[in-house]
Structure 1
């Protein structure tokens, strides 16, 4: 697995050690990590994650774009409210999202080079999709 930066790999190693997760983080592509392919170490810049209620996305408050680390609105939920572009780190597996924003707030997902990957209209969900190519999200 390739990390987005050496600092991310070092931070990830520290977090996995503190959390007691098995495996080691490395900036190289060799070796498995506890975070590989499962979003277990996923973060969103400036947003604290919360345990999802596992209720089909009903825990996503109105005017939020909610990102979940697991498929079908499970795992850790990140609530994106403030209109801006958010950087995603360690989203390397299947998750889900729900755009519960106002009718004009289309969420746009971007790749590593800033290329537009796809969008999610208000009121729509992705119950299961691969976040691996997504490096940032603009929620409005």
Structure 2
């Protein structure tokens, strides 16, 4: 075997090892782990962040999280179920402007820029066969979410964009 071919195999093996390590240390999963008959999955938002009172100085200047290009969303409170229909990457983030979680339904294949996404929320990749990629400030891949049948808790603070296909 040539030295070049061995080096290429070594790089591929290292990449696979890093990818496997990322999934081995994946965030904790929460919520039901079986899909509904129509292929929908149910997400349950985690407890609200501690600093949610209107009297805090942060609440006065609060800005609602957004995605670009625009996507459908709903607001929900902690503990309430949100249905993620088949074909969507669903991502929930705390919205300090209204004191509820804002759950986005990323259906159209695109790279979505995130604005004002901070703290812990939920996500579930309910797409058919498409991985979703979470990117940091410099465009580096932070995480890959494979299509699964259960939501997971995720810290959105370092994520600057999501590509859902």
Range into which the TM-score falls when normalised by the shorter chain: 0.5 to 0.7
Paired residues in the alignment total 104
2:65 matched to which residue of 1? 42
Q: Find the residue that maps to 1:77 and give its secondary structure.
A: strand
Please say if 1:134 is aligned against 2:159.
Answer: yes
- Consecutive unaligned residues of structure 2, counting only runs of 5 or more, are 1-53, 95-99
Which deviations, in whole Å up to 9, do the C-alpha atoms of 1:48-77 show, x marking residues without a partner?
A: 42124822x5x001000001115xxx8221
Q: Which has the higher contact order (CA 8 A, sep 6+)?
A: 2
Q: Which runs of 4+ in 1 moved over 2 A?
A: 32-36, 51-54, 124-127
2:20 matched to which residue of 1? none
Which deviations, in whole Å up to 9, do the C-alpha atoms of 1:83-135 show, x marking residues without a partner?
A: 11000110111111010000x20000000111110100002555322100000
Please tell me whether the aligned partners of residues 112 and 163 of structure 2 are also in contact (alpha carbons under 8 angstroms): yes
Structure with more helix by fraction: 2
Instruction: Name the TM-score, length of structure 2 as normaliser.
Output: 0.55
Q: Find the residue that maps to 1:33 and give its secondary structure.
A: helix
Instruction: Name the TM-score, length of structure 1 as normaliser.
Output: 0.64
Change (3 A) 1:95 1:128: same
Which deviations, in whole Å up to 9, do the C-alpha atoms of 1:25-62 show, x marking residues without a partner?
A: xxxxxxx52289xx97211111242124822x5x0010
Q: Which has the larger radius of gyration?
A: 2
Query: For the aligned residues, what is the CA RMSD?
Result: 2.7
- Consecutive unaligned residues of structure 1, counting only runs of 5 or more, are 1-20, 24-31
Change (3 A) 1:40 1:48: farther
Provide the C-alpha distance between the structure 2 equivalents of 1:84 and 1:41, rounded to a whole number of angstroms. Answer: 21
Please tell me whether the aligned partners of residues 96 and 125 of structure 1 are also in contact (alpha carbons under 8 angstroms): no
Please tell me whether the aligned partners of residues 134 and 143 of structure 2 are also in contact (alpha carbons under 8 angstroms): yes
